[in-house]
Amino acid sequence: MALNTTPGDPAADSYPTLVEAKAYWDSIGRDYSGIADDELEQALRRGTAWLDGTYGARFIGKASTFDQALEWPRQDAVYRGKTLPSNAIPQKVKNAASEAAWREATEPNSLSPDYVPAEGVKQEQVGPLSVTYKDGAGGVADVLPVVTAVDGLLRGLVASKASLNFATAARG
């Protein structure tokens, strides 16, 4: 099934087209020659879904239409002092989705691994060797990857996590 990359479409499932993703991968030296196009398209769907799930609540502006499937296009989104078009996807978002898709193409489901807290191991011993692992909160956030390449590509298009913790109040 072909990708639907129409901005604002209720059935859209990827930000970049396969041609756009390949152009991005070519520009940074990724070799996708051994991966079938249908596998790359599936990875683009998963990468786009991960991108929206991870960054969607932090994207600048607001969704352009109520029924659009993806978080972009956005309205009232200002980047570098300019209002972005409310009917287009920024190239940086397409590149970030391509970057996420690359990880999914080379290691499927690596961006969204299943995690069962009860199966977590804090310390284990095999014979005389004992290993204690990094102490975390014991939640899903402890196993989710941080993809710094995607963070860098989206800089300026997402609000910081800290800004989501504060609300504004008005006095009447």
How large is the average pLDDT for residues 6-25?
Answer: 98
Q: Percentage of the chain with pLDDT > 90?
A: 65
| pLDDT tens, position by position, 63-85 | 999 999 999 999 999 999 999 99
* Local confidence band at 20 (pLDDT 50, 70, 90 cut-offs): very high
pTM of the model: 0.80
Q: What is the DSSP string of the chain?
A: ------TT-TT---SS-HHHHHHHHHHTT---TTS-HHHHHHHHHHHHHHHHHHHGGGBSSEESSTT-SSS-SEES-EETTEEPPTTS--HHHHHHHHHHHHHHHHSTT-SS----GGG--SEEEETTEEEEPPP--SSGGGTS---HHHHHHHTTTB--TGGGG-------
For the chain, give every domain's residue range.
Answer: 18-115+139-162
- pLDDT of 139: 55
Question: How confident is residue 88, by pLDDT bands cut at 50, 70 and 90?
Answer: very high
Q: What is the pLDDT of residues 31-64, one digit of tens each?
A: 999 999 999 999 999 999 999 999 999 999 999 9
